[in-house]
Amino acid sequence: AQSVSQHNHHVILSEAASLELGCNYSYGGTVNLFWYVQYPGQHLQLLLKYFSGDPLVKGIKGFEAEFIKSKFSFNLRKPSVQWSDTAEYFCAARYSGGYQKVTFGTGTKLQVIP
């Protein structure tokens, strides 16, 4: 079955630390990949997405992600986190071929300590 794995369930960082959240997907075919963020009390919103082309994708608020097809990975990175980045981050994949649903990972809660 198609799946998305996020291995870090809870991450605690100090401000200015670098961030990398892991995401792995299971499907070997064409896949569209997303990172969503849910700030406390707010809606889920799109951080960035990869459909094709340059595997290094830049999103909002200084986030970026790299698609590595050989590793089935789409890790999220930010060089220097801020307290305002405290949120839950979800990786998601939509596998191509017909009408395919979006599959979400279980999420990573990031807590940034001032």
Residues that bind another protein (CB under 8 A): 32, 34, 36, 43-46, 49, 51, 90, 92, 94, 99-107
Q: Please say which residue, 17 or 64, places its beta carbon nearer to another protein.
A: 64
CA distance 109 to 114: 16
Q: Please say which residue, 78 or 94, places its beta carbon nearer to another protein.
A: 94
CA distance 93 to 109: 19
Q: Please say which residue, 75 or 103, places its beta carbon nearer to another protein.
A: 103
Find how far residue 84's CA is from the centre of its chain: 17
